[in-house]
Structure 1
Amino acid sequence: MILPQTIEQITSRIDVVDVVGEFVKLKKRGTNYLGLCPFHGEKSPSFTVSPTKEIYKCFGCGKSGNAITFLMEHEKYSYVEALRWLANRYGIEVEETEMSDEAKQHVQVADSLYIINNFAQQFFVEKLFETEEGKNIALSYLHERGFNNGIIEKFGIGYSPDIRDAFSKLAIKHQYNSELLLRSGLVRSYNDELQDNYRGRIIFPIHNNSGKIIGFGARIIGKNDKAPKYINSPENEIYVKSKILYGSYFARHSIDKNNECLLVEGYTDVVSLVQAGVENVVASGGTSLTVEQLRLIKKYTDNLTIIYDGDSAGVKAALRGLDMALEESLNVRLVLIPDNEDPDSYVKKIGASAFQQFVAENKKDFILFQLEIMLKDAGSDISRKNEVVNRIADSLSKISKAEDFTKQQEYIKQCAALLKIDEAGLTTLVNKYKRDSLTKLEKNNAFKEQAVEQALSPESEVFIPLTDELQERNILRVLLEFGLKEWDEEQRIADYIFTELEVFPFDNKENEQLLELYRAQYYQGLQPTTKSLLYNTEEKIRQLVVSITMSQYELSRRWDEVMENMHILDQDSSHKDAELSMIYFKLRKIKKMFEQTQLELEQTSVFEDQLRLLEVHKHLKAAEKELTAQLGAVILK
C-alpha cells in the first residue's frame, strides 16, 4: 500500500488543469477553464475545470471529480495506478508500507517481467523492420495480408527470426535473469540451454489497460499443419488470459465514445478493423468469454456486439458465455460474417463503410438468436423442445438486477411467442429458476438467508424519511469554504456550526457522513478543506464534495468595474453566509417539527398529551419568530 505521506505529496503537487489538459483541450474563461466533455459527445463546451478548487465537472452529463478520479474514469486506471501515473509525472518517489516477503517477491517479479517484455518487443520490432529476413519473410507477408506500416507500428507488431537462440543470447548478454526469461515464456530450456520460443513467427504484443506489455501472441507465417497457428505467453504474475482482451488499450476511448464494444476472435481481426477505421474493437483470443473479460467491457459500455465467423463453430463460440453476459447486465448483439469469411478478410473485401453498415443492419439479439438456433435443432421433437424451454428460462433468470426488470419482461414476451407457449407459464418457470438460484445461494452462505427472505417478502416495505438535503448541503458548503476562518476571538466558523448543529442534526446519511469526517479531521488538527476531502478514498465522499462546491456559473470580474469601490468579488461574506445558512436550516427543521406536532395533535385524544403538544407548538413559534426577526423577514405559510 502506498504510504499516506506519499499520497499527500502527490496530491499537493497535482495541477488539475495540467492533468486534464493532457486529454482535453481547455480554454480559460474567468477563473475556470472550459472544454468539450471527453465523457459524452457535445458541440458546446460544458466541461468545467476549476484550478482553485482542483475539481472538474461536466454540466451536461454530470461527470465530476478530481485529477485522480479523472484518470480513473478516462483512462480506466485503478486508484493506485492513477497515483503512480501522477507520481511519475511529477517525479515523486512512491513509498509503500512494509509488505510481506511473498508480496514483495510478487511485485519484484511482475516489475521484472514488464521490463523483459518491453526489451523483447523492441527486439522483435527491430528484427521486422531492420533485417533482411524480417523484411523479406514477415513484413512482406503482413503487406500481402493488407496491413500497412502505420498500423503495424501502432500495435507494435514484430518478428522473431528463425534462429535457435537469437533473442536468448541477447537477453543473457544484457544480464536478464534466465529464470525470469523462462517465466515470461519468451524462451525455453532444451538440454540445459536457452532457446527462443517463438522462432520464425510474427509477434503481437499484448497490452494491459495502462499500455504495459504483459505478454505476446506469436503467429505462424502462412500455413503449417504440423505447428500450432498461435503460441501465447504462459500465465504468470502479469499475464492472466481470462482477464485480458487484446486491443483494449487502443480501443478504450473509442468504446466509451461509441458506447459499444465490438468483440472478435483473433488479433488480425482487431488490427484489420482498426486500420479500416473501426476502432472500438477487442479480441477474446479465440477462447470462451470469462466474467473478468465481460467486466472489463462493462467498464466502458453496457453494449456488446459479438462479430464471429458464420460457420457452426463460430456460432457455438459466440453463444458461449451468454449467461455470464446477462448476469453482468450487458446488452448483447451478434453479427455473423457470411461466405466463410472472418472480420479480417471481410472488411478488406467490402471496405470499411460497407462493413460498418453490414454490422449495423445485421445485429441479432443474442437471446432470441440462441432460441432460434435451439428451436431449429429441436425440430418437431417434443422432448428436445421442452429442453429448449427450460434452457431459455434458465438464461432469462440470469437477468436478475432490479433495473433490468423491464428488459426481462420484454424477453419473456418475445420468447413465449417464438416458443408458442403461454407467457404467464414462461414467467412462472423463469421465477422458479430464480428461486432455485437463491436457494443455492442460501445453502452456500447462511448469512445471506435473512436478506434473501426480506427481499422476496411481499410484506416488506421501504421507508423513505423526509430530508432537508438542500439546507444540509449548504451548511456543508459553508464548512468547506469558510470552516477554518475566524468566527470571533475564541472560535472558528466550524466551531460555530458544530455548536448550532447539536440541537438540529442532519437527516441525510451521506451528508452526515461528510460532516462527521470533517468534524473528526478538524478536532484532530488536520485542517480539513475542500482539497483534502476531495482526495478521500471513498468515491461517495469525493462526488459529494464536488457536487457541493462546484457551480456552473461564476461572477464576472466586470462587476467590480461597473460597481466601482463596491469590491463585490473580494468581499468577505463568510460570517453572513454562515449565519444565514444556519438560520434557513433551523427554520426548515422547525417547519418539520410544526408538521409533526400538528399530526400528533390530530391523532391524540388524551388531554395531557394535547397540552404538552400545544406547549411544544408555542416554543416552536417563539423560536421561529426569533429567527425571522434575525432575517428581517416573514415566513409565509
Structure 2
Amino acid sequence: MITQQTIQQITNRIDIVEIVGEFVKLKKRGANYLGNCPFHNEKSPSFTVSPSKEIYKCFGCGKSGNAIGFVMEHEKYTYVEALKWIAARYNIEIEETVTSPEVKQQQQVAESLLILNSFAQKYFSKNLTETEEGQSAALSYLKHRGFREEVIEKFQLGYNLEAKDDLVTILQKSQFSLEVAQKAGLVTNRNDSFYDSYRGRIIFPIHNQSGKIIGFGARVIKSNEKAPKYINTPENEVYVKSKILYGTYFARQAINKFDECLLVEGYTDVVSLHQAGIENVVASGGTSLTIDQLRLIRKHTNNLTIIYDGDSAGVKAALRGLDMALEEGLNVKLVLIPDNEDPDSYVKKIGATPFRAFVDENKKDFIIFQLEVMLKDAGNDTAKKSAVVNQVAETLSKFHRAEDFTKQQDYIRQCSGILKIDEGGLTTLVNKLKREKITKEENRQVNTPDPYPVDSGNNVPAEETSSLLINDEYQERNLLRALLEYGLLSWDEERTMADFIFEELEHYSIEDPNLDSLLQVYKDYYYKGLQPSTKTLLYDENDNVRKLAVLLSIQQYELSPRWDSKMEGMNINNRDVSRQDVTMSLNYFKLRKIKKMFDENQRDIEKAASFEEQMDLIKIHNVLKDEEQKITRQLGTVIFK
C-alpha cells in the first residue's frame, strides 16, 4: 500500500485544472473552468472544474469527484494506479508499505502489460537503429519512404528481427512472463513453444492519451501475399481498439490550437503529416469510426475533417460512421486525395503548404457528398432513389440540438434541390422520423424505471450522487452546504460558524441518513481539530461522504465578474455573505421542520382522546406558531395559510 505521507504529498501537489486538462479541453468561465464532459454524450458543455475547491462536476450526467477520482474514472485505473499516475506527473517518489500477497499480485497484473510494452518498445527501437538487419531491412525502407530520423524517434518506431524467438529469449532473460507477453500480442504459443509474433516487421507503438504504450501495429516489409500487411495487438486490459485513435497523444495540442482534427486511415499517414509539420492528425487504423473514437475527438474539437484515398473503398470507409458523428455534434468535412494517392504519398509529392491549401480548398460537406454518392449509385432506379430520400431524411433527423435548427433547415433546402423533391415534403419526413425516435425513447423510459430520479430543485439530472438525497430535503442539503463552505470562519469572538450551527441544531434533526452521516463525519473531523472542509472530505474513506461533499459544494451557475464593473460600489462578487448565508440556510431549514411539526401536531389534535390532551397539543401549536413568526420576521417573509 502507498503510505499516507506519500498520499498527502500527492494531494498537496495536485492541480485539478492541470490533471483534467490533460484529457478535456477547458475554458475559463469566471472562477471555474468549463468543458464537454468526457463521461457522456454531451452537445453543450456542462462539465465544471473548480480549482479553489479542487473538484469537478458534470451537471449533465452527475459525475463528480476530485482529481484522483477523475483519473480513476477516465483511465479506468484503480485507486493505487491513479495515485501512481499523478505521482509520476509531479515527479513524486512513491513510498509503499508491505502489502498482502493477494494485493501485491493484483497490482502487478494491473501494471504488467504497460511495463512489458515499454520494455518491448525499447527492444524494437534498438533493433531498428543498432542491428545490421534492422538498418538494412527496416531503417533503409523507412528512409526510402522519406521518414527522417527525428520523426522515427518521436513516434518510437522499431523493428522485430526475423529470428523466430529473439524477443522470446530476451523476455525470458529479463524474467518477463511469456503468458503476459502472449496477452500483449508480442509472442504466440504453438505446440507449447513460444515464438515472436511480429517477425520481420516494422513496429508502430500505440500510445494512450497520457503517453503510455498500450499496443503495437506491425507492418510487413517484404511482399508476401499470404501475410497480412498489418498485425495489431489483440484486445486486452489496456488495449481496446474501438476506443483508440493512433497519434492522439502527439496531436492533442495541435488539435486544440487549430480547433480541427484531421482523420486519416493509416499509421504512415500520421507519421508523414507530422514530419511535414501538420500535427493535428490522427488515424482510425482503417476501421469504421466508433462512438468512443468520435467522443475522443470531441474532447478537443467539434471540427472533424476526414482525409481518405479517392478510391471507392476509401469513399465507403469515410462514409461509415456519419450518423454517429452528427449525433455527437461534430462538424464533418471530407477530403479525397486524387490520383490514387494517399495522405502519406501526397504530402511528400506536393509539400506541406500546398497540402494544407489542398485540404482547405477541397473540403466537401459530408451530407451533400453522401447524397451525391448515393444518387450516383441509384442511377435511374426509382426504388433506389426512394431509398436515398429515406436515408437522407434519416441522416437529417440526427440533428437534435436547438442550435442546429438553422443548419438542419439549410440542409433540407439543399438536399431537396439535389433530389428534385418538394422541400416541405422532406421537412415533414424528417420531422416524422424525429417524432418516432422521441416516442421510442419515451416508451423505453416509461418501461424502464429510472434508478436515479431527477433533482428538480437544481435542474441537475441525477446519477449516483443525487440518489443519495431525499428529493424534498433541499433545506437540509443547503444547510450542510453552508456548513462545508463557512464552518471554519468566525461567528463571533468565541465561536466559529460551525459552533453556531451545531448549537442551533440541538433541537432539530437531519432526516436524510446520508446527510446526517456527512454531518457526523464533519463533527468528528471538527472536534479532532482536523479542519473539515470540502477539500479534506474529498479524501474521506466513505464513498458517500466524498460524493456528497462534491455535490453540495459546486454550483452550476455563478455570478459574472462583470457585475462589479456594471454596479460600481456594490462589490457584488467579493463581499462577505457568509453570515447572511448561514442565517438564511438555518432559518429556512427550521421553517421546514416547523411545518412538519405543525402537520404532525394537527393530526395528533384530531386524534386526541381527551380535552386535556387536546389543550396540551394546542399549546404546542402556539409555541410552534410563535417560533415560526420569529423566523419569518428575520427573513422578512409572510406565511399564508
Fold conserved between structures, TM > 0.5? yes
Identity over the aligned pairs, expressed in percent?
56
Q: Structure 1: how far apart are the matches of 2:408 and 2:99?
A: 47
Q: Does 1:120 align with 2:120?
A: yes
Residue matched to 1:352: 352
Q: Structure 2: how far apart are the matches of 1:463 and 1:50?
A: 21
Residue matched to 2:254: 254
Among residues 86, 89, 92, which one is paired with 1:90 in the alignment?
92
| Range 183-192 or range 115-124, more displaced | 183-192
Residue matched to 1:10: 7
Equivalent residues of 1:10, 1:83 under 8 A apart: yes
Offset at residue 345 of structure 1 (A):
0.9
How many residue pairs end up in the alignment? 537
Give the secondary-structure state (helix, strand or coil) at the position aligned to 2:246: coil
Residue matched to 1:32: none
Offset at residue 72 of structure 1 (A):
9.1
Equivalent residues of 2:65, 2:547 under 8 A apart: no
Q: Structure 2: how far apart are the matches of 1:398 and 1:215?
A: 34
Offset at residue 212 of structure 1 (A):
1.9
Q: Structure 1: how far apart are the matches of 2:537 and 2:402?
A: 32
Paired residues for 1:168-187 under 5 Å: 168-187=168-187
Residue matched to 1:27: none
Deviations for 1:109-151, whole angstroms, at most 9, x for unmatched residues? 4422222222211111111111111112211111111111111
Q: Structure 2: how far apart are the matches of 1:339 and 1:9?
A: 59
Offset at residue 330 of structure 1 (A):
2.0
Deviations for 1:58-84, whole angstroms, at most 9, x for unmatched residues? xxxxxx9976589799x9897956543
| Range 234-243 or range 310-319, more displaced | 234-243
Give the secondary-structure state (helix, strand or coil) at the position aligned to 1:433: helix
Q: Does 1:493 align with 2:493?
A: no
Q: Structure 2: how far apart are the matches of 1:361 and 1:96?
A: 62
Paired residues for 1:417-428 under 5 Å: 417-428=417-428
Pair 622,160 (structure 1): closer, same or farther in 2 beyond 3 Å: closer
TM-score for both structures, normalised by structure 1: 0.69
Q: One-letter code of the match for 1:91?
A: E
Q: Structure 1: how far apart are the matches of 2:393 and 2:212?
A: 42
Q: One-letter code of the match for 2:248?
A: S
Q: Structure 2: how far apart are the matches of 1:407 and 1:513?
A: 49
Q: Structure 1: how far apart are the matches of 2:458 and 2:191?
A: 73
Q: Structure 2: how far apart are the matches of 1:284 and 1:51?
A: 35
Equivalent residues of 1:246, 1:283 under 8 A apart: yes
Q: Structure 2: how far apart are the matches of 1:23 and 1:328?
A: 21
Equivalent residues of 2:16, 2:66 under 8 A apart: no
Give the secondary-structure state (helix, strand or coil) at the position aligned to 1:14: helix
Pair 446,127 (structure 1): closer, same or farther in 2 beyond 3 Å: same
Q: Structure 2: how far apart are the matches of 1:393 and 1:503?
A: 64
Offset at residue 154 of structure 1 (A):
1.1
Equivalent residues of 1:533, 1:545 under 8 A apart: no
| Range 349-358 or range 150-159, more displaced | 349-358
Give the secondary-structure state (helix, strand or coil) at the position aligned to 2:156: coil
Give the secondary-structure state (helix, strand or coil) at the position aligned to 2:189: strand
Residue matched to 1:484: 488
Pair 18,326 (structure 1): closer, same or farther in 2 beyond 3 Å: closer
RMSD (Å) for aligned C-alpha atoms: 5.2
Pair 23,489 (structure 1): closer, same or farther in 2 beyond 3 Å: closer
Pair 445,626 (structure 1): closer, same or farther in 2 beyond 3 Å: closer
Pair 539,585 (structure 1): closer, same or farther in 2 beyond 3 Å: closer
Q: Structure 2: how far apart are the matches of 1:239 and 1:11?
A: 32
Residue matched to 1:529: 533
Equivalent residues of 2:127, 2:134 under 8 A apart: yes
Pair 361,619 (structure 1): closer, same or farther in 2 beyond 3 Å: farther
Q: Which has the higher contact order (CA 8 A, sep 6+)?
A: 2
Q: One-letter code of the match for 1:428?
A: T
Give the secondary-structure state (helix, strand or coil) at the position aligned to 2:142: helix
TM-score for both structures, normalised by structure 2: 0.68
Residue matched to 2:342: 342
Deviations for 1:567-602, whole angstroms, at most 9, x for unmatched residues? xxxxxx99x86445557889999xxxxxxxxxxxxx
Q: Structure 2: how far apart are the matches of 1:251 and 1:408?
A: 31
Give the secondary-structure state (helix, strand or coil) at the position aligned to 1:528: coil
Equivalent residues of 1:534, 1:546 under 8 A apart: no
Give the secondary-structure state (helix, strand or coil) at the position aligned to 1:205: strand
Pair 374,408 (structure 1): closer, same or farther in 2 beyond 3 Å: same
Residue matched to 1:136: 136
Offset at residue 177 of structure 1 (A):
2.2
Residue matched to 2:194: 194
Offset at residue 343 of structure 1 (A):
0.7
Structure 1 residue runs of 5 or longer lacking an equivalent are 25-36, 57-63, 452-461, 466-471, 505-511, 554-572, 590-617, 629-637
Q: One-letter code of the match for 1:172?
A: Q
Residue matched to 2:465: none
Give the secondary-structure state (helix, strand or coil) at the position aligned to 2:242: helix
Equivalent residues of 2:334, 2:363 under 8 A apart: yes
Offset at residue 493 of structure 1 (A):
0.7
Residue matched to 1:310: 310
Residue matched to 1:560: none
Offset at residue 268 of structure 1 (A):
0.3
Q: One-letter code of the match for 1:281?
A: V
Pair 373,516 (structure 1): closer, same or farther in 2 beyond 3 Å: farther
| Range 408-417 or range 397-406, more displaced | 397-406
Offset at residue 552 of structure 1 (A):
11
Pair 497,420 (structure 1): closer, same or farther in 2 beyond 3 Å: farther
Q: Structure 2: how far apart are the matches of 1:376 and 1:7?
A: 67
Equivalent residues of 2:10, 2:87 under 8 A apart: no
| Range 374-383 or range 477-486, more displaced | 477-486
Q: Structure 2: how far apart are the matches of 1:448 and 1:588?
A: 36
| Range 421-430 or range 530-539, more displaced | 530-539
Paired residues for 1:453-468 under 5 Å: none
Equivalent residues of 1:147, 1:272 under 8 A apart: yes
Give the secondary-structure state (helix, strand or coil) at the position aligned to 2:239: coil
Equivalent residues of 2:54, 2:535 under 8 A apart: yes
Q: Structure 2: how far apart are the matches of 1:421 and 1:502?
A: 74
Give the secondary-structure state (helix, strand or coil) at the position aligned to 1:143: helix
Equivalent residues of 2:252, 2:280 under 8 A apart: yes
Q: Structure 2: how far apart are the matches of 1:138 and 1:306?
A: 29
Equivalent residues of 1:218, 1:231 under 8 A apart: yes
Pair 273,436 (structure 1): closer, same or farther in 2 beyond 3 Å: same
Pair 523,392 (structure 1): closer, same or farther in 2 beyond 3 Å: same
Offset at residue 258 of structure 1 (A):
2.6
Paired residues for 1:356-395 under 5 Å: 356-395=356-395
Residue matched to 1:61: none
Equivalent residues of 2:307, 2:334 under 8 A apart: yes
Q: Structure 2: how far apart are the matches of 1:418 and 1:522?
A: 66
Q: One-letter code of the match for 1:90?
A: I
Residue matched to 2:296: 296
Equivalent residues of 1:128, 1:158 under 8 A apart: yes
Give the secondary-structure state (helix, strand or coil) at the position aligned to 1:236: coil
Residue matched to 1:60: none
Deviations for 1:413-464, whole angstroms, at most 9, x for unmatched residues? 332232222233223222333344455556766534999xxxxxxxxxx999
Offset at residue 513 of structure 1 (A):
13
Q: One-letter code of the match for 1:378?
A: A
Equivalent residues of 2:203, 2:216 under 8 A apart: yes
Paired residues for 1:124-273 under 5 Å: 124-221=124-221, 223-273=223-273
Equivalent residues of 1:522, 1:528 under 8 A apart: yes
Equivalent residues of 2:491, 2:579 under 8 A apart: no
Equivalent residues of 1:333, 1:363 under 8 A apart: yes
Give the secondary-structure state (helix, strand or coil) at the position aligned to 1:90: coil
Equivalent residues of 1:14, 1:86 under 8 A apart: no
Q: One-letter code of the match for 1:320?
A: R
Equivalent residues of 1:264, 1:282 under 8 A apart: yes
Pair 236,552 (structure 1): closer, same or farther in 2 beyond 3 Å: same
Structure 2 residue runs of 5 or longer lacking an equivalent are 34-48, 57-63, 460-475, 562-573, 590-625, 637-641
